[in-house]
């Protein structure tokens, strides 16, 4: 997998004298067409020497090598394919190394997607390092976005499912460069994932070492910005997963899908998920919103949908959508919900409070809490 290659392999190849594009001395009769024919020689030593010389010539031998892959001689076609892989890999590593050494950002060195990446993410040393890591891991995806953007969504979805299958089969976690590429492309391409694909991307973000990178690594600001771009675009059930990511990684972009859910009718196909979406949108608004969002939450104060009926401290309570909304409004007003009668509410550093604890043991307690809020709101207009 390209994501597992390192510059060590690049330097090793150079040390062995296989650098692509090296100038050939005049006294070296290394005609590519003749050498390709020698790949089919009956003598093993001749075939090996021809292969080494073609690798030394590098990109200049590309046309003959490509033609050689179509040779009826299986030995010639097979060796040409192998040499092509080596030549292209050496050239790729050479360009990637030059890209990292060039700090002025004036050239993309033929690396697909750099100009768009620098526009969307930036072109500082940290951004360049991350882009190089993404290139190592997922250059076909970055190339597809530049050359054939209408297929980016299809290829991105297929690649995410492939990485998940690899993980399940052999336990190999996706490289940081791979997941960073998925996050980046999901944010900037015209992609609308189904819920399953969005769940795959979300699960990748929770796994180490990417989770640590997003939370506190030296590239956390860049990764959070990229993740925030995707979170803002999420709709439907994918928005639920996006809001969870936002609250866990403290990304304010989660407010965008939250407000969309709270202010727009949900599609009929999401009716069975309605309470989950609403309670998550309310909590996300409580975490990232301010007093101006209280009026949006007011729209949920008539919703008696039951979200949970837990037993807390030996008391069974019922948490309704309107209860969770009221607790969030009290929080945004700068007050504590327990001051208004939420006797069982439990603070949560990630979600502000546990949604299932924002409820009441009976309607009398609920009505008293609502009255206290209305009195407070009236006195503080």
Structure confidence at residue 254 (pLDDT): 97
Structure confidence at residue 102 (pLDDT): 81
Structure confidence at residue 208 (pLDDT): 87
Structure confidence at residue 16 (pLDDT): 36
Structure confidence at residue 139 (pLDDT): 87
Q: How far is CA 238 from CA 103, 160, 261, 300, in A?
A: 38, 15, 12, 21
Structure confidence at residue 103 (pLDDT): 62
Structure confidence at residue 9 (pLDDT): 45
Mean pLDDT of successive 10-residue stretches along the chain, which has 381 residues: 44 39 43 92 93 92 92 94 92 90 75 89 92 92 80 86 94 93 88 83 92 93 96 92 96 97 92 94 98 96 96 95 98 97 96 96 97 95 80
What DSSP designation does 225 have?
H
Helix axes 125-147, 152-170, angle to 10 degrees: 110
Tell me the C-alpha distance between 166 and 169, whole Å.
5
Structure confidence at residue 106 (pLDDT): 66
- Nearest C-alpha neighbor of 185 from the set 240, 130, 113: 113
What backbone torsions phi and psi does residue 363 show, to the nearest 5 degrees? Answer: -65, -30
Tell me the C-alpha distance between 83 and 60, whole Å.
13
Beta-carbon count within 10 A of 58 CB: 22
Structure confidence at residue 200 (pLDDT): 94
């Amino acid at each position: 997998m390209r994501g597992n290659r390192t510059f060590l392999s690049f330097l090793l190849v150079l040390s062995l004298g296989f650098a692509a594009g090296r100038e050939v001395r005049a006294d070296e009769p290394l005609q590519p067409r003749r050498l390709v024919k020698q790949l089919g020689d009956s003598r093993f030593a001749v075939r090996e020497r021809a292969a080494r010389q073609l690798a030394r010539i590098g990109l200049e031998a590309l046309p003959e090598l490509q033609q050689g892959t179509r040779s009826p001689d299986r030995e010639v076609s097979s060796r040409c394919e192998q040499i092509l892989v080596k030549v292209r890999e050496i050239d790729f590593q050479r360009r990637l190394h030059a890209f990292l050494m060039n700090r002025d950002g004036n050239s993309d060195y033929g690396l697909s997607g750099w100009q768009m990446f620098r526009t969307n993410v930036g072109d500082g040393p940290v951004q360049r390092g991350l882009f190089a890591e993404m290139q190592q891991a997922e250059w076909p995806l970055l190339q597809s976005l530049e050359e054939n953007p209408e297929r980016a969504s299809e290829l991105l979805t297929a690649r995410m499912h492939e990485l998940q299958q690899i993980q399940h089969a052999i336990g190999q976690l996706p490289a940081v460069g791979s997941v960073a590429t998925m996050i980046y492309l999901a944010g900037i391409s015209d992609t609308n994932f189904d819920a399953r694909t969005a769940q795959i991307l979300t699960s990748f973000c929770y796994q180490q070492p990417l989770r640590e990178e997003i939370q506190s690594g030296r590239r956390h600001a860049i990764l959070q910005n990229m993740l925030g771009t995707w979170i803002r675009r999420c709709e439907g059930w994918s928005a639920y997963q996006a809001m969870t990511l936002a609250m866990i990684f403290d990304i304010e972009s989660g407010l965008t899908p939250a407000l969309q859910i709270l202010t727009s009718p949900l599609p009929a196909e999401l009716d069975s998920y309605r309470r989950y979406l609403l309670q998550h949108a309310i909590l996300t608004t409580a975490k990232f919103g301010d007093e101006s969002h209280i009026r949006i939450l007011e729209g949920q104060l008539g919703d008696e949908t039951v979200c949970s009926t837990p037993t807390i401290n030996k008391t069974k309570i019922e948490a309704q959508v309107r209860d969770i909304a009221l607790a969030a409004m009290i929080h945004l007003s700068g007050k504590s919900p327990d001051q208004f009668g939420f006797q069982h509410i439990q603070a949560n550093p990630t979600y502000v409070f546990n949604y299932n604890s924002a409820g009441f043991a009976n309607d009398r307690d609920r009505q008293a809490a609502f009255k206290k809020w209305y009195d407070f709101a009236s006195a503080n207009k």
